[in-house]
Chains A and B, each alone.
Chain A
Amino acid sequence: MTALVVMKDIGKSFPGVRALHNAQLELLSGEVHALMGENGAGKSTLMKILAGIYRRDAGEILLDGKPVEINSPRQAQDLGIGIIHQELNLMPHLTAAQNIFIGREPRKAGGLLLDEAKLNADTAEIFASMHLKLDPRTPVGGLTIARQQMVEIAKALSYRSRVLIMDEPTAALNDAEIAELFAIIARLKAEGVGIVYISHKMDELKRIADRVTIMRDSEYIGTVPAAETPVEKIISMMVGRTLTDDRPDIPDHSKSETVLEVKNLNRGTVIRDVSLSVRKGEILGFAGLMGAGRTEVARAIFGADRRDGGDIFMHGKKVDIRIPQDAVRAGIGYLSEDRKHFGLATGMDVRNNVVLASLARFAGPAGLLREGAMHDVAARYIDQLAIKTPSDRQEVRLLSGGNQQKIVIAKWLLRECEVLIFDEPTRGIDVGAKNEIYKLLNALAQQGRAIIVISSELPEVLRLSHRIAVMCEGRLTGILPGGASQEEIMHLATLRGDAANQNKQKTAKGEAK
């Protein structure tokens, strides 16, 4: 059987960066082929070449055994190659249906007019096949990231491609949505579609992948069968060494001072009477399903959204936080889950992004910036977080997704806030770097910072947290000790309505004892 796609000896350089060198991939039809590698290994670049977004410098692409040139996204589509991009690429002002069929709108009146009814009906059909409950006429800008991701997936499906590339499609999805996606993948596979699947979540490999191709430092390392190869082997092929992960013991914080305390936080129906506190040196995990209101709580504390009610205390003193500036002044930092929109000035370079929140510190007399000092600091973080960039002058938008995330982390580390709220800090970050970030968070806690980590990945919450707050539908449904089990968390995460109130009273009593 000839392979559906063969990419041979692909080379690609950007100014100052060699992104690919002798990269390879062989995709069969009806196969889910995982593409693994650290942040910046070149996965997305290789796939963008296949999807006609970048031109390759060297190498050859065969489709059904025949060499092809793919020079534009349009050509890729015509050849039956579809891609779900790592970064969302939607038009926020347009509806879901309009986004999905952009450029391919059904027409009527001899092609002159748009057939909006058919557009929405076709979209509804795709959504139904995905078991997605979403009105095709909803503008996507108002949707959660997870929902937007589902729209992207629907869009890719609408092309009915023979080759479907998914670049970290599950990064923003919850377990139910992931299960739904995997069901879709199984169906496509049965229809003979070849799927390239990029993800940093190792558990997904075993669930869906048939084969795994591993890349490291822009090169091809090897292709192995997914089922028979132990995860440790794959990881060591990715990072070139074996990782050790020792979870530190949970320290006892009952004597430490409470740094941040939030009382009776309310905002419409999204935050309902949430009270919590974090102590010095403590890592408070924030678990819950997507949409439980965790990000909303963080944003309300940070002053990014208005509050209907609730007080915030730092070291027992009430602080008045109305805008993010107030929060930063009070010593609270927030790392958004949506780095593209809120975390980074993507058009600026690495150096400026790292110092952005602390710029005043680098201003000399007359407001002159001390570039040298800025460079030193940026270089230190590039080193400490292993950020893959040719220099601190590289524009951030040119870095790989995971490395952009590290820049956001560096920015807030530099700000030296007493309280740091991390919202999905390792989304899109590779296993090796994830480990580094866990170590870093632990070190920060040891230095006496109070840390809140919002994460949708239970293993991550369990790995990091000293205490775990669980939310469901805007309510805090309980606070568990660090050693809690996944089942206990899931129970609280799905506790709705009245049951939650009763339970909260119980835990409140429990804490009082």
Chain B
Amino acid sequence: MSAAASTASTSAVSRFSGAQHRLLAFASLIILVAVFSFASPNFMQTSNIIAILQATSVNGVLAIAATLVIITGGIDLSVGTLMTFCAVIAGVVLTFWGMPLGLGVLAAILAGAASGTLSGTFVAKLKIPPFIATLGMMLILKGLSLVISGTRPIYFNGTPGFTQISQGSLIGSVIPSLPIPNGVLILFLVAIATSFILERTILGRFTFALGSNEEAVRLSGVNTDRWKIAVYALAGSICGIAGLLIASRLNSAQPALGQGYELDAIAAVVIGGTSLSGGRGTIIGTLIGALIISVLANGLRILSVAQEWQTVVTGSIIILAVYTDILRRRRL
């Protein structure tokens, strides 16, 4: 029985290009879009497309952060509440202290990096399993957000430019017919930058190597702890960006928000073909995964399917996505 399971995993290893899976995910996205635009004329309207993209931006950025950690063979449950924490920090710096916009942005990203460093240290140095370490961090950050904000939302009315971070449209100001909001632009920039780091830099190489066989990396004379912490820190700072995006969209930091976002993010990662056992995954896959989730939510809402059923469908999609991945690997 165990032999059967391990057979599947060797085959996985021998043909793991993952390109097929991404193609499949992409095809599902196209099919979904086709079905919804056929079912409802409202779906394909520019305003709706932009709404979908805008809705993807926060989850997409969070999912990119989660992808990094998952490729190392870990998991990060704290991405959602860390996002909120970073938003609250931005609120403190901008609204409570009245500092300029740039400093608020910097503070949010640094807060994310610091929290990621802490999670990474728990995992790498204290050898606490990632699931537990980030579960702990998730609760700590949630509590801290409430404490710092006094459980009340912090509004950014004193910093007029703040809403522009997500809602303005740089592209639209240049090409008026293409009013793509900055939030979406930021999502794609984060995706491109992270992809680049993963594929081209030493940090990226170690991200995959750690997930593939950490012991082998250690025996190669590499300081594995340091790199692992670096990956968590990078993921944390990306959560900081997500915090800015959501705060900008709501024009406020909502301290009670955040929990539950991590599950959507992980769902996007998994649908995008990243292996939860590590060593394998792509940002483009995650992006497609995140889009599938928001297209589904949007399309089902347009067709007036109840919220409850939307959740059921998303759950089924996750299982289906992972199963097709397993099928593909078994087929070989």
Contact = CB atoms under 8 A, between A and B. Distances in A.
Contacts of A116: 200
A89 B217 CA distance: 8
Interface stretch (B144-152, B172-180, B202-210): B202-210
B102 interface: no
Contacts of A345: 2
8 contacts: A90-B216, A92-B13, A98-B205, A103-B206, A107-B202, A114-B204, A139-B14, A141-B10
Contacts of B205: 94, 98, 102, 105, 114
B324 interface: no
A53 interface: yes
Interface in A42-82: 53, 72-74, 76-77
A304 B223 CA distance: 38
Interface string A402-423: 0000000000000000000000
Given A91-B212, A105-B202, A113-B200, A323 B4 contact: yes
A142 B1 CA distance: 22
Q: How large is the interface on B (under 10, 10 to 19, 20 to 34, 35 or more residues)?
A: 20 to 34
Contact of B3 (A53, A103, A142, A302): A302
A116 B201 CA distance: 10
Given A73-B220, A102-B222, A341 B4 contact: no
A99 B205 CA distance: 10
A444 to B, nearest CB: 21
Contacts of A94: 205, 208-209, 212
Contact of B219 (A85, A105, A304): A85
A113 B204 CA distance: 10
Interface in B198-243: 200-202, 204-206, 208-209, 211-213, 215-223
B279 A93 contact: yes
B221 A72 contact: yes
B40 interface: no
9 nearest A-B pairs in the assembled complex, by CB-CB distance: A141-B13, A142-B14, A91-B212, A93-B279, A103-B222, A89-B216, A74-B221, A73-B221, A93-B212
Contact of B6 (A72, A73, A113, A341): A341
A139 B209 contact: no
Contacts of B201: 112-114
A93 B280 contact: yes
Interface string A95-109: 000110011010100
A53 B14 contact: no
Contacts of B219: 53, 73, 85, 89
Contacts of A305: 7
Interface in A274-329: 299, 302-305, 323-325
Given A93-B212, A114-B200, A103 B279 contact: no
Given A76-B221, A94-B209, A102-B209, A304 B3 contact: yes
Contact of B213 (A89, A112, A139, A302): A89
A336 interface: yes
Interface string B12-23: 011110000000
Contacts of A53: 219
Given A74-B223, A323-B1, A345-B2, 17 more contacts: A76-B221, A85-B219, A90-B213, A92-B212, A92-B213, A94-B205, A99-B216, A103-B217, A103-B222, A105-B202, A105-B205, A114-B201, A116-B200, A141-B16, A142-B13, A304-B4, A323-B4
A93 B220 contact: no
Nearest to A345: B2
Contacts of B222: 74, 102-103
Interface string B83-102: 00000000000000000000
B223 to A, nearest CB: 7
A375 B206 CA distance: 43
B1 A325 contact: yes
Contacts of B202: 105, 107, 114
Contacts of B10: 141, 341
Nearest to B212: A91
A341 B2 CA distance: 10
Contacts of A341: 6, 10
Contacts of A92: 13, 212-213, 279
Residue among B3, B215, B218 having the largest count of chain A Cβ atoms under 10 Å: B3
Contact of B14 (A72, A85, A141): A141
Contacts of B14: 139, 141-142
Contacts of B13: 92-93, 139, 141-142
B193 to A, nearest CB: 13
